[in-house]
Amino acid sequence: MKKIVGLASFTLFAGLLFQSCDNTERKLPILGEATVEKKMVDGKEVIDSIYPTIPDFKFLNQDSVYITQDFFKDKIYVANFFFTHCPSICPTMQRNLLKAYEKYKNNPKIAFLSHSIDFKYDQPHVLKDYANKLGIDNDQWQFVMGSKADIYGISEKYLVYTKEDASVPGGYDHSGYLVIIDPERRLRGAYDGTNDEQVTKLLEDLDVILNEYR
Protein backbone atom coordinates (compact mmCIF):
# COMPACT_ATOMS: atom_id res chain seq x y z
CA MET A 1 0.00 0.00 0.00
CA LYS A 2 2.74 2.42 0.99
CA LYS A 3 4.53 1.54 -2.21
CA ILE A 4 1.48 2.36 -4.32
CA VAL A 5 0.96 5.70 -2.58
CA GLY A 6 4.63 6.45 -3.05
CA LEU A 7 4.52 5.57 -6.72
CA ALA A 8 1.35 7.54 -7.25
CA SER A 9 2.69 10.66 -5.61
CA PHE A 10 5.93 10.33 -7.56
CA THR A 11 3.97 10.05 -10.83
CA LEU A 12 1.87 13.04 -9.83
CA PHE A 13 4.95 15.03 -8.93
CA ALA A 14 6.71 14.09 -12.17
CA GLY A 15 3.55 14.94 -14.09
CA LEU A 16 3.29 18.34 -12.47
CA LEU A 17 6.96 18.97 -13.16
CA PHE A 18 6.57 18.16 -16.85
CA GLN A 19 3.35 20.11 -17.11
CA SER A 20 4.84 23.23 -15.59
CA CYS A 21 7.83 22.83 -17.90
CA ASP A 22 5.53 22.68 -20.87
CA ASN A 23 3.51 25.73 -19.86
CA THR A 24 6.31 28.03 -18.90
CA GLU A 25 8.85 27.08 -21.50
CA ARG A 26 6.92 26.88 -24.71
CA LYS A 27 6.75 30.30 -26.28
CA LEU A 28 5.49 31.21 -29.69
CA PRO A 29 8.20 32.24 -32.14
CA ILE A 30 8.44 35.82 -33.37
CA LEU A 31 7.83 35.86 -37.11
CA GLY A 32 9.55 37.95 -39.74
CA GLU A 33 13.13 38.82 -40.41
CA ALA A 34 14.82 40.64 -37.55
CA THR A 35 17.16 43.53 -38.05
CA VAL A 36 20.12 43.62 -35.73
CA GLU A 37 20.80 46.80 -33.87
CA LYS A 38 23.86 47.56 -31.78
CA LYS A 39 23.39 49.83 -28.84
CA MET A 40 25.31 50.85 -25.75
CA VAL A 41 23.98 49.76 -22.37
CA ASP A 42 26.02 50.78 -19.30
CA GLY A 43 29.08 51.36 -21.47
CA LYS A 44 28.84 47.91 -23.06
CA GLU A 45 27.86 47.15 -26.61
CA VAL A 46 24.69 45.06 -26.73
CA ILE A 47 23.21 43.44 -29.83
CA ASP A 48 19.44 43.75 -30.04
CA SER A 49 17.12 42.03 -32.52
CA ILE A 50 14.30 44.21 -33.81
CA TYR A 51 11.38 42.27 -35.27
CA PRO A 52 8.87 43.68 -37.74
CA THR A 53 5.73 45.16 -36.19
CA ILE A 54 2.30 46.17 -37.44
CA PRO A 55 2.39 49.92 -38.21
CA ASP A 56 -0.24 52.43 -37.08
CA PHE A 57 -3.57 52.12 -38.87
CA LYS A 58 -6.99 53.73 -39.00
CA PHE A 59 -9.95 51.87 -40.50
CA LEU A 60 -13.74 52.30 -40.42
CA ASN A 61 -15.48 49.48 -38.55
CA GLN A 62 -18.94 47.86 -38.70
CA ASP A 63 -20.36 50.62 -36.47
CA SER A 64 -18.94 53.39 -38.72
CA VAL A 65 -16.39 54.24 -36.04
CA TYR A 66 -12.70 54.67 -36.79
CA ILE A 67 -10.60 51.93 -35.19
CA THR A 68 -6.86 52.34 -34.68
CA GLN A 69 -4.06 50.33 -33.10
CA ASP A 70 -5.17 51.82 -29.75
CA PHE A 71 -8.21 49.54 -29.71
CA PHE A 72 -5.80 46.59 -29.52
CA LYS A 73 -3.53 48.12 -26.88
CA ASP A 74 -2.42 45.46 -24.33
CA LYS A 75 -4.35 42.83 -26.27
CA ILE A 76 -3.42 39.78 -28.28
CA TYR A 77 -5.42 39.75 -31.49
CA VAL A 78 -6.03 37.51 -34.45
CA ALA A 79 -6.17 39.24 -37.83
CA ASN A 80 -7.35 38.07 -41.23
CA PHE A 81 -8.48 39.30 -44.65
CA PHE A 82 -11.84 38.46 -46.23
CA PHE A 83 -14.84 39.94 -48.01
CA THR A 84 -18.52 39.49 -47.27
CA HIS A 85 -19.67 37.97 -50.56
CA CYS A 86 -16.55 35.81 -50.98
CA PRO A 87 -17.58 32.49 -52.50
CA SER A 88 -14.32 30.62 -51.94
CA ILE A 89 -12.27 30.21 -48.75
CA CYS A 90 -13.74 32.97 -46.53
CA PRO A 91 -16.79 31.13 -45.15
CA THR A 92 -14.61 28.26 -43.93
CA MET A 93 -12.02 30.68 -42.53
CA GLN A 94 -14.68 32.72 -40.71
CA ARG A 95 -16.43 29.57 -39.45
CA ASN A 96 -13.11 28.55 -37.92
CA LEU A 97 -12.29 31.99 -36.49
CA LEU A 98 -15.75 31.92 -34.94
CA LYS A 99 -14.58 28.91 -32.88
CA ALA A 100 -11.81 31.09 -31.41
CA TYR A 101 -14.25 33.97 -30.84
CA GLU A 102 -16.60 31.68 -28.95
CA LYS A 103 -13.77 30.14 -26.91
CA TYR A 104 -12.40 33.52 -25.78
CA LYS A 105 -15.64 35.47 -25.71
CA ASN A 106 -15.52 38.28 -23.11
CA ASN A 107 -11.82 37.69 -22.44
CA PRO A 108 -10.52 41.30 -22.42
CA LYS A 109 -7.07 40.16 -23.52
CA ILE A 110 -8.17 38.65 -26.84
CA ALA A 111 -9.63 40.42 -29.86
CA PHE A 112 -10.25 39.72 -33.53
CA LEU A 113 -9.76 41.92 -36.59
CA SER A 114 -11.15 41.06 -40.02
CA HIS A 115 -10.14 43.39 -42.86
CA SER A 116 -12.37 43.50 -45.92
CA ILE A 117 -10.43 43.51 -49.17
CA ASP A 118 -13.57 44.50 -51.12
CA PHE A 119 -13.17 48.25 -50.69
CA LYS A 120 -16.00 48.92 -53.18
CA TYR A 121 -18.85 46.90 -51.71
CA ASP A 122 -18.14 46.24 -48.02
CA GLN A 123 -19.36 49.50 -46.49
CA PRO A 124 -19.90 49.58 -42.69
CA HIS A 125 -23.60 48.67 -42.92
CA VAL A 126 -22.71 45.64 -45.05
CA LEU A 127 -20.07 44.60 -42.51
CA LYS A 128 -22.57 45.14 -39.65
CA ASP A 129 -25.16 42.94 -41.32
CA TYR A 130 -22.50 40.27 -41.92
CA ALA A 131 -21.27 40.40 -38.31
CA ASN A 132 -24.82 40.13 -36.97
CA LYS A 133 -25.61 37.16 -39.16
CA LEU A 134 -22.36 35.46 -38.15
CA GLY A 135 -23.52 35.83 -34.54
CA ILE A 136 -21.08 38.50 -33.33
CA ASP A 137 -22.81 40.52 -30.62
CA ASN A 138 -19.96 42.45 -28.96
CA ASP A 139 -17.06 44.64 -30.11
CA GLN A 140 -14.42 41.95 -29.50
CA TRP A 141 -14.42 41.08 -33.20
CA GLN A 142 -13.88 44.12 -35.40
CA PHE A 143 -14.75 44.11 -39.10
CA VAL A 144 -13.05 46.97 -40.92
CA MET A 145 -12.83 48.59 -44.32
CA GLY A 146 -10.38 51.11 -45.78
CA SER A 147 -8.95 52.38 -49.01
CA LYS A 148 -7.46 49.80 -51.35
CA ALA A 149 -3.96 51.17 -50.77
CA ASP A 150 -4.31 51.07 -46.96
CA ILE A 151 -5.85 47.59 -46.71
CA TYR A 152 -3.64 45.95 -49.32
CA GLY A 153 -0.63 47.76 -47.87
CA ILE A 154 -1.22 46.50 -44.33
CA SER A 155 -1.93 42.95 -45.53
CA GLU A 156 1.74 42.74 -46.50
CA LYS A 157 2.70 43.62 -42.93
CA TYR A 158 0.60 40.67 -41.75
CA LEU A 159 2.38 38.56 -44.42
CA VAL A 160 -1.00 37.87 -46.07
CA TYR A 161 -1.31 37.90 -49.84
CA THR A 162 -4.18 39.98 -51.25
CA LYS A 163 -4.92 40.98 -54.83
CA GLU A 164 -7.78 42.31 -56.91
CA ASP A 165 -8.17 39.71 -59.66
CA ALA A 166 -11.14 39.53 -62.01
CA SER A 167 -10.22 35.97 -63.02
CA VAL A 168 -10.98 34.37 -59.63
CA PRO A 169 -14.49 33.76 -58.20
CA GLY A 170 -15.65 36.87 -56.36
CA GLY A 171 -13.03 39.12 -57.96
CA TYR A 172 -10.42 39.11 -55.20
CA ASP A 173 -7.61 36.67 -54.55
CA HIS A 174 -6.12 36.27 -51.09
CA SER A 175 -4.68 33.74 -48.68
CA GLY A 176 -6.69 32.51 -45.72
CA TYR A 177 -4.20 33.03 -42.93
CA LEU A 178 -5.21 33.75 -39.36
CA VAL A 179 -2.36 35.74 -37.82
CA ILE A 180 -1.62 36.18 -34.10
CA ILE A 181 -0.35 39.64 -33.11
CA ASP A 182 1.05 40.21 -29.61
CA PRO A 183 0.61 43.37 -27.48
CA GLU A 184 3.97 44.58 -28.80
CA ARG A 185 2.47 44.42 -32.31
CA ARG A 186 4.75 41.57 -33.41
CA LEU A 187 3.62 38.57 -35.48
CA ARG A 188 3.60 35.42 -33.36
CA GLY A 189 1.82 32.83 -35.50
CA ALA A 190 0.15 32.28 -38.86
CA TYR A 191 -2.37 29.48 -39.41
CA ASP A 192 -4.26 28.33 -42.49
CA GLY A 193 -7.85 29.20 -41.56
CA THR A 194 -9.22 26.56 -43.92
CA ASN A 195 -7.30 23.65 -42.33
CA ASP A 196 -8.85 22.03 -39.23
CA GLU A 197 -5.52 20.87 -37.77
CA GLN A 198 -4.02 24.35 -38.09
CA VAL A 199 -7.08 25.89 -36.48
CA THR A 200 -6.76 23.49 -33.54
CA LYS A 201 -3.12 24.62 -33.27
CA LEU A 202 -4.24 28.27 -33.30
CA LEU A 203 -6.54 27.63 -30.34
CA GLU A 204 -3.68 25.92 -28.43
CA ASP A 205 -1.22 28.67 -29.29
CA LEU A 206 -3.58 31.39 -28.11
CA ASP A 207 -3.49 29.72 -24.68
CA VAL A 208 0.32 29.67 -24.83
CA ILE A 209 0.62 33.35 -25.67
CA LEU A 210 -2.05 34.32 -23.13
CA ASN A 211 0.21 32.69 -20.57
CA GLU A 212 3.14 34.79 -21.76
CA TYR A 213 1.20 38.04 -21.26
CA ARG A 214 -0.57 37.13 -18.04
Q: In whole angstroms, what is the distance from residue 212 CA to residue 15 CA?
A: 21
Specify the residue, 22 or 196, whose C-beta has the smaller distance to other proteins.
196
Indicate the residue among 60 and 98 with the shorter CB distance to other proteins.
98
Nearer to other proteins, 90 or 209 (CB): 90
State the nearest-atom distance from the C-beta of 84 to other proteins, in Å. Answer: 9
Q: How many residues bind other proteins (CB under 8 A)?
A: 16
Q: Identify the bridge partners of residue 78 per DSSP, sorted by sequence position.
A: 112, 180
Q: Smallest distance from the beta carbon of 10 to other proteins, in angstroms?
A: 40
- Nearest approach in angstroms of CB 5 to other proteins is 38
Give a three-class secondary structure readout of 111-143: EEEEEECCCCCCCHHHHHHHHHHHCCCCCCEEE
Closer residue to other proteins, CB minimum distance, 116 or 182: 116
CA distance 41 to 21: 32
Among 6, 15, 55, 135, binds other proteins (CB under 8 A): 135
> How far apart (Å, rounded) are the C-alpha atoms in residues 96 and 94?
5
Q: Which is nearer to other proteins, 171 or 183 (CB)?
A: 171
Cα radius of gyration (the chain): 21
The residues, ordered by sequence, that sit 6+ positions from 20 with a Cβ below 8 Å of its Cβ are: none
- Please state the length of the chain: 214
Q: How many whole angstroms separate alpha carbon 58 and alpha carbon 71?
A: 10
Compose the 24-63 pattern: x for residues touching other proteins by CB under 8 A, - for all others. Answer: ----------------------------------------
Based on CB atoms, which residue is closest to other proteins, 176 or 189? 176
Residues of span 73-92 touching other proteins by CB under 8 A: 85, 87-92
Per DSSP, what are the bridge partners of residue 81?
Answer: 115
CB of 100 to other proteins, least distance (A): 15
Binding site residues, other proteins, CB under 8 A: 85, 87-92, 94-95, 98, 130, 132-135, 169
